[in-house]
Chain A
Amino acid sequence: MTDFGKECGSGPAHVAGLDARLVVDRGGFRLDVALRVAPGDVVALLGPNGAGKTTALRALAGLTPLSSGHLRLDGTVLDGTPPEGRPVGVVFQDYLLFPHLTALDNVAFGPRCHGASKADARAQAARWLDRMGLAEHSGVKPRRLSGGQAQRVALARALATRPRLLLLDEPLAALDARTRLDVRAQLRRHLADFEAVAVLVTHDPLDAMVLADRLVVIEHGLVVQEGAPSDIARRPRTDYIARLVGLNLYKGRAEGHVVRLEAGHVITTTEELTGPAFVAFPPSAVTLYRERPTGSSARNLWRCEVAGLETHGDRVRADLTGGLPLVADLTTVAAAELDLRPGAPVWAAVKATQTHTYPA
């Protein structure tokens, strides 16, 4: 990643937004992530468990010290500033609402710590709860709130200190599926209204794509890909991302209309390209046959073996090994007709027109 620090220098140049390189060394694990986010933008750190997302968030909040790197927010250096001195608001994964305080006093806690009088802090808190549609719950203790309500109180509490950087750690992870839908939509609205920098951490690609303007994918402590959600969904660059967005992904060398994979397989494509390349195609592009097809126009044909089957609604997702490891989607009817079961041999065909090739 580019080192933005050099551009800004140490002069009085005022750069709005977040400009950080977060390096945290922790016994065998190293996080090294560069982030640059403009005010008003929402960035999602997406990655598998243990990738270092939460560590990055804690480093931004000042809860985990940086081993090296830098952290600037609106031109102010925050590297050594303790958490309480940073204009940062955090929505924790399980919210961490203070159980002994009412919703109102939870939200008033921040303004109070920032020097507001008790009455003033409570008035501010009441306004925030009102904005979140929680006015009638202000006197309630956190344990009496539903998951969605607690999430909004946590958001109100974080926003009540008027942070210049809002951090959200898996903001929807603690919610059940139905609540999640509502809360995600509300959160999206609140984030759209938020005029400063927002960084959220999630392992859910849907949350990331709905809530964020830009995704930063982290694996093993490093940024493996970043960009607009649509771009990442179309052109994944790691197996993890490909799995997240539901694509079969292969890396190889493109030579015109063919891509030679490292394992020796060849995939025919329609896009012309030369040099290291990725080939991606959706599981729905794969057609399965019991016998070797003769009349098929598909240029890509592999002999595989069914490793596993999973149903998704009226679709069956087949995990194939053997020839080319790939994932195929087919209808339940087709799966029954093919008599698919683990261990069964199948032929998999993919039309060249349904593949997408891009430089690695």
Chain B
Amino acid sequence: MSTPYRPDSGAEIRTGAGTRGGPGGRRARVGAGRGVPLPLLLPALAGLVFLLLPLTALLVRTPWRSLPEQLTSAEVWEALRLSLICASAATAVSLVLGVPLAWLLARAEFRGRGLVRALVTLPLVLPPVVGGVALLLALGRNGVVGQWLDSWFGITLPFTTAGVVVAEAFVAMPFLVISVEGTLRAADPRFEEAAMTLGASRFTAFRRVTLPLIMPGIAAGSVLAWARALGEFGATITFAGNFPGRTQTMPLAVYLALQNDPAAAVALSLVLLAVSVAVLAGLRDRWATVR
């Protein structure tokens, strides 16, 4: 018998995200479970508290009374708008480049594929600040490629909004590639073969058969990449700087505010937390239940 296609990697990612946020259903089941060994239960509960305590503290210390005026200030909206636009643009860039890259890694046979995959995932583990420095060296005004961009096309990326998008895409794209590649591997490549025997070229087979099949993985990967881009700090501040209205995204604004106006920092953090929860809820509602 065949193994019908299941968007497996999506499930993995959901589980990963779920543990971080503390999914109610799963926690209840563990608590009610009979015979959970104490040496597992105690550290598990401690871990849960450890993850939830900071978030609770954020809620406890939120200046609820002054919140409306904090959140309606022009700077907050500026930063939030910029964050949303840049994260979305970075996700779009990741999609356009990352999905074909994932296909290449999952389907094409070539020498050194393992090495390429390792290099692609490097930004996942690379400290973002290092990523920012590397981006400066590559695309900076005097960078390896940047000097030509500057002298030939007059394009300058560092310390611009476009630079924010570049920095965020650099950090976020591996998430999408890994997610999509996992889904592609789980998808039966023989569907593409079936399409080819029906007269579809390899690209048509990809576009009309594979792409719809791996849509759950692409969606999950996009959300993950988008969330990562939204929270991106290190590479952004290094490569694009911290100019309000131009490159100052929410995380940068939070960091800056924490030094001048802690209450504002808390308010901004609350907004980001709300966005994160919304993303998580969206993931669960849309891709966890539709199977």
Contact = CB atoms under 8 A, between A and B. Distances in A.
Contacts of A61: 197
B191 interface: yes
B6 to A, nearest CB: 10
Interface stretch (B48-56, B174-182, B200-208, B257-265): B200-208
A99 B200 contact: no
A61 B192 CA distance: 13
B200 A84 contact: yes
B154 interface: no
A113 interface: yes
Interface residues of A, number: 27
A98 B204 CA distance: 14
B2 A84 contact: no
Contacts of A110: 198-199
Given A98-B191, A113-B204, A90 B197 contact: yes
A157 interface: yes
A109 B195 contact: yes
A40 interface: no
Contacts of A89: 197-198
A96 B191 contact: yes
Interface in B1-20: 1-2, 4-5
Nearest to B194: A96
A213 B46 CA distance: 72
A84 B199 contact: yes
A174 B3 CA distance: 12
B212 interface: yes
Nearest to A108: B198
B188 A161 contact: no
Contact of A99 (B1, B4, B195, B201): B4
A92 B198 CA distance: 12
B196 interface: yes
B188 A96 contact: yes
B209 to A, nearest CB: 6
Q: Which 4 A-B pairs have the closest CB atoms?
A: A94-B2, A113-B199, A110-B198, A96-B194
19 contacts: A63-B197, A83-B193, A84-B196, A84-B197, A84-B199, A86-B197, A88-B197, A89-B197, A92-B194, A94-B2, A96-B188, A98-B195, A98-B212, A99-B4, A100-B212, A109-B208, A113-B200, A158-B197, A174-B1
Interface of B: 1-2, 4-5, 188, 190-191, 193-202, 204, 208-209, 212-213
Given A110-B198, A113-B198, A113-B199, 13 more contacts: A61-B197, A84-B197, A94-B2, A98-B194, A98-B213, A100-B209, A100-B212, A110-B199, A113-B204, A143-B4, A157-B198, A158-B197, A158-B198
